[in-house]
Structure 1
Amino acid sequence: MTTLFFDIGATLADGVREPDGSWLLTPLPRVSQVLDALAVEPKGIISNPGTEQDAAERLTVALHAAFPGRFTDDRLLHFGPKDSRAIFDDAVASTGGPADDCVFVGEAPAERAFARTAGMRLAPHPVFARAAIEDRPVFWTSIDVPEVGGLGVLKSVANGTEAVPSRTSSPHLVLAMATGLGVEALRQAGFTTEVRERVENTAALSP
């Protein structure tokens, strides 16, 4: 079974440091639904809580408060810098299985690059965790948005499929990440799309 490891900040949640030093995490859109859909898969964390005393413990408390019952195996919680493959190697070792049975889900291309060197599969957003489990690629995709319906319709369609709008360069042109399933759903909804290169370790392209 594949083990999923998630970054926290900007991937799972937005974080606010409280005056008493504790963290308050607010789940990002679609994340809770994704985690519920992946209920049977083991889930862990690879995240940097900072260097303050008890930082990892405080972030763990906030994680369980924001996502109760989703991250239940403390052996899969890994906190520290993600500036080399070391923490990713540690995460793989904690599963007792091969690196190819592990997925790192994180928004930062540089961190995904380190995870890849450790042999892990990658997902640039929680929405694509299932695709990573099934070894399906995610592509940068340009979307032409018609005047009728516009961005509101695009958001509604994207929220129901494997597509995540990344940048809007105009009301009529959006750059998104999407799997093949996501692209097909967008086209069936009437959007013209241009599939470009795979996301993998890349930052956003120009629309």
Structure 2
Amino acid sequence: MTNRLPEDWTGDAAADVHAILGTVMAEAATFSSGLGIYYEVQENNMLSIEGSFCSGSGLLDVRPGKRAPDVTLLKPGTFDKTRLLVQTPNVSRFYVVILVGGACDAERAFFRKTEISSELERLQSADLLRYLTLLHEPVPNAYEMLKHGPLGRVFFDDTQQSAHKRYGVDTQQGVVVVIRPDGWVGTMAVLGAHAVAELEQYFGRIFLS
């Protein structure tokens, strides 16, 4: 901002000051905005629990304790654009976002298990929990892909599968992401029947302890 390179600058002495400033501001953006705040997973913190899914270890990785990235979603039928942030407002409610990818068999196993989970049904009935299903590509009818009615509202990823990529999801695997009421990730589980047990354990620690 002083139009001079920092005194301890070790890079190219002829570098464009404005370009360097832009890089520094971009790198510090998440810190400056507060969106980069990260809560370490700890045993006594029931809101952030490591699950069976890990998206990676880079600066842009998604994991429990970090803010859930906002991504573009497509609405069914019209394929109009919306945002994950719009569909998961902070209103004292947890959201279970199911990024199906191409793992439709795993999604069906997850669906069948949720149907017999009295714990998850109780939370859903109390409006403490809502589901969102995100398919990895736009299709005319979500039912034809899933072979059943989707859990919660259904949305589609774009043709580049940007949302799945942002969450580090292998489209052949699928993942279940719990978004806390404050917009941070609570836990992440590999999509499948076993993910229901992980959700029951996660919510059990919060609501039954």
Common fold by TM > 0.5: no
Q: Which has the higher contact order (CA 8 A, sep 6+)?
A: 2
Query: Which structure's residues are more often strand, by fraction?
Result: 1
TM-score where L is the length of structure 2: 0.31
TM-score where L is the length of structure 1: 0.31
